[in-house]
Amino acid sequence: MSFTNDLSFHGKVAIVTGSGRPSGIGAAIAAALTVRGACVTIDYVYDASAPRAAEVVESIRAKGGKATVVRGDIDILVNNAGIAPMTPTVEVTPEEMASVFRTNIQGPLFLIQAALPYIPRGGCIINISTCLSRMGLHSPVYTTSKPALDSLTHTWALEFGRKFCITVNAIAPGITKTEISPPNDHPEVRRLLDMTRLEGRMGTIEEIADAVVLVASPLSGWITGQYISVSGGVNWI
């Protein structure tokens, strides 16, 4: 038996989807991995996002990290990209529903199909879920798509764990402060803050990133198939 307290990712390659927004969770995850030695690819979808993605890359490089498009083994895959419209049920269109499920479910599934041959034994997949998926709050379509991702997490943990020795876990943030967060006096935000056991505030993108670092590290090598709430102890019971 070997013991380690190493949170270094030197020599590791990571892909973090949805990491092109400087103040977003994905960018914080990318920064947290690169500062510990990983080489991270910064992912964005729309042309309009290119300058912001470049800003993320430059910020990481300015701190001595490595952020680029790479070819080779992928040690860490973080499925962070997602969309969360707040449309009420009676106003949801077929196009919006298809868009949410295409991004939040089909995107991770098809990315894993493409990446799996390049993930070595001992690699990890981390899906970014949400504590809202168990609370019946926020967008009905979004909060339906995330439990589907949670279900895939459990299925992939068995499917990829037995065959490839790859761990698969879900990190579920609570309400987190980003550039697109509603204000603190928003009714849904206030309700969530009232449910938070720790400090009664929004989480930070860095706190979500720290949880990803821990789950991606060798310290979590025997943890798989888990839904891990990173929400300040939000109580949905």
Give CA torsion, residues 150, 151, 155, 161, to 10 deg.
10
Give CA torsion, residues 155, 159, 161, 162, to 10 deg.
140
What is the rounded distance in angstroms from the CA atom of residue 141 to the CA atom of residue 139? 6
The residues with which 128 forms a beta bridge, in sequence order, are 171
Tokens 């550039």, located at residue: 179
Give CA torsion, residues 105, 138, 76, 179, to 10 deg.
120
What is the total residue count of the chain? 237
**Catalytic status, residue 142:** yes
What is the rounded distance in angstroms from the CA atom of residue 66 to the CA atom of residue 211? 21
Q: Which two tokens stand for residue 97?
A: 């529903």
Buried-state track 90-99, b at ≥16 Cβ within 10 A, e below 16: eeeeeeebee
Q: Which two tokens stand for residue 1?
A: 């038996």
The single residue of 44, 46, 118, 142 carrying the catalytic annotation is 142
Beta strand 227-230 with 167-173 is: parallel
Nearest to 121 by CA among 156, 154, 162: 162
Active-site residue numbers?
Answer: 142
